[in-house]
Amino acid sequence: MTIKEVCERYDITADTLRYYERVGVIPEVTRTKSGIRDYREEDIQWVENAICMRSAGVPVEMLIEYVKLFQEGDSTIEARRNLLMEVRVGVQEKLCQYQETMDKLNFKISRYEEAMKTGVLSWEA
């Protein structure tokens, strides 16, 4: 795939893809003989991983560390697992925060729905 096709597929900019590659969020992308990026399946998997992790709020530095460890080989399996476990803790905390927000929203909506039926809305924060 060309960089344009990848950008369209994942709704990201070419600058973002180039940045991810330059800083090491994704490994160096396969290139044609003329030096043009040619995203293969393995490259696409790295792009998907980067997009997923960034959307979950994983810092770029953690992703760079993960890729470096991956490139070092199987001797880093435990370190990679530990890094992912650390990421999971952060994502779990965010999920809990979102759930608290969802509960608050559901409560408020239910109050407004009740007020629409009864014509009475009691004050709440």
pLDDT computed for residue 120 by the predictor:
87
| pTM, two decimal places | 0.80
The residue ranking higher by pLDDT, 124 or 26, is: 26
Residues 51-60: tens digit of each pLDDT: 999 999 999 9
pLDDT computed for residue 12 by the predictor:
96
Q: Return the structure tokens found at 31.
A: 């290139």
Q: Distances in Å between the alpha carbon of 31 and those of 41, 42, 84?
A: 13, 13, 29
pLDDT computed for residue 8 by the predictor:
97
Domain extents in the chain: 3-118
Q: Which CATH number applies to 3-118?
A: 1.10.1660.10
Average pLDDT for residues 12-36, to the nearest whole number? 95
Residues 44-101: tens digit of each pLDDT: 999 999 999 999 999 999 999 999 999 999 999 999 999 999 999 999 999 999 999 9
Q: For 1-125, where are the alpha helices, taking DSSP H only?
A: 3-10, 14-23, 41-55, 60-72, 77-118
Dihedrals phi, psi of 37, to nearest 5 degrees: -60, 135
Sign for the CA dihedral angle at 103, 89, 68, 73 comes to: negative
8 Å CB contact between 102 and 62: no
- To the nearest whole number, what is the mean pLDDT of the chain? 94
